[in-house]
Amino acid sequence: MKKLFVLQVFLLFAQTIYSQWIIESFDSSAGIFFREPIPIGFHYLGFYNDTSHYEGTGSLRVEYSVEAENSWGGLIASSTHTPGDTTLQRIDLSEGEFLSFWYKILQPVNMATIGQFFMEFKLAEIDNSGLRDLWLHHSAFDFSDSSGQWIQLKMPLVVNPNNTLGFVLQFGDGDGVLQLENIRGFEMALVYSTNGGNPPPRAYGSFLMDRLELLYPSSVEEDQTFSLTKFLLEQNYPNPFNPSTKIKFSVPNGIVQDVSLKVFDILGNEVATLVDKAKSAGTYEVEFINPQLSSGIYYYQLRSGSYVETKKMILMK
């Protein structure tokens, strides 16, 4: 029987700081309540307060062990939420452009069998009549990151039927319209997808989460009037993607630079050349699309003279 690892998170406090709504910490000071599941075999989920934090007094440490049965699987965990409960504090996200949180990988995911391990972040929308819609976003959460750095994950607060950008309706008994003013909880699903095996393979690791916040349009884009003093390669968006994604890079002030931007598969084979020409100072955006490629991890590399920078992206079909 297929199973899904679901971590349900319900946030009861919010405050306004500058141009953003901040749910400051993912620890107990933020009023988050969890009911941890009983460990079953290699299925395990643990929640712990951690003194390390990006912002506030602490963060939430999540330790997981997920066993994949019949090609994918996990374990269900829930908070104190009851579907249709209109007594939960309503969180109005309608004025925001992105929902964002920060994460840091403590132990990169270890998969017994090569596969995909990814997160789905969900909005639990409950209107005043108690009708509930659950909206899903495939988040670009890199569980294999070993940098030890805090990473910001931004989720556009828009509806996208292709499930590559923003949120799509997963299920519910409401009207099927995303009512951002009626959000009363959040969920996350950690999914381990493989070709199966006997015994079933498992994936395990740990990470920190902190500072869930609403980004207003005025706070999303940085001031672009600064002087470009160095190359900059940004993370592709959306990520994971299917079948297309966009990549931004910046060329610093000075003479015209010879620039190349190429895409490689996990074995180092070149699969595409996106840029290979001289570029003047400025910020550029290119689109990568190749419907013939199979799902998996790919790398894109920006190169100019002695400067080389490489980032990872995930194609998920």
When pLDDT is cut at 50, 70 and 90, the band that residue 256 belongs to is low
Looking at residue 254, what is its pLDDT? 66
Q: Is the fold of 5-220 the same as that of 232-315?
A: no
Domain 232-315 falls in which CATH fold? Immunoglobulin-like (2.60.40)
pLDDT in tens, 263-294: 999 888 999 999 998 887 777 889 999 888 99
Cis peptide before 243 (omega within 30 of 0): yes
The answer to whether residue 223 scores a pLDDT higher than 70 is no
49-53, 221-225, 229-233, 248-252: which range is least confident on average? 221-225
Q: In the predicted model, what is the mean pLDDT of the chain?
A: 76
pLDDT of residue 229: 66
Rounded Cα distance, 5 and 39, in Å: 12
54 pLDDT tier (thresholds 50, 70, 90): low
Q: Average pLDDT, stretch 101-106?
A: 90
Q: Over 90: is that where the pLDDT of 31 sits?
A: no
Q: Are 118 and 144 in contact (CB under 8 A)?
A: no
Block residue for tokens 């000071």: 29
Does residue 222 surpass a pLDDT of 70? Answer: no
Task: Report the 10 Å Cβ neighbour count for 47.
Answer: 19
Judge contact between 191 and 122, C-beta under 8 A: no
Name the residue among 132, 137, 138 with its Cα closest to residue 171: 132
Whether residue 44 contacts residue 63, with contact meaning beta carbons closer than 8 Å, is answered with yes
User: What pLDDT, on the 0 to 100 scale, is given for residue 270?
Assistant: 92
Supply angle C-alpha 139, 141, 147, rounded to 5: 160
Most confidently modeled of 153-167, 211-225, 290-304?
Answer: 290-304
- Torsions phi, psi of 47, nearest 5? -115, 130
Q: Burial letters for 223-257: b for 16+ Cβ neighbours within 10 Å, e otherwise?
A: eeeeeeeebebebbbbbbbbeebebebbbbeeeeb
- The residue extents of the domains of the chain are 5-220, 232-315
Write the CATH number of the domain with boundaries 5-220. 2.60.120
Give the separation between CA 56 and CA 235, rounded to whole angstroms. Answer: 26
Residues 112-141: tens digit of each pLDDT: 888 888 888 888 888 888 888 989 888 878
Over range 212-225, report the average pLDDT.
57
203-212, 250-259, 277-286: least confident range: 250-259
- Give the pLDDT mean for 225-254: 78
Nearest to 144 by CA among 59, 195, 207: 207
Which single residue is written with the structure tokens 């009037």? Answer: 225
Would you state the pLDDT for residue 163? Answer: 56
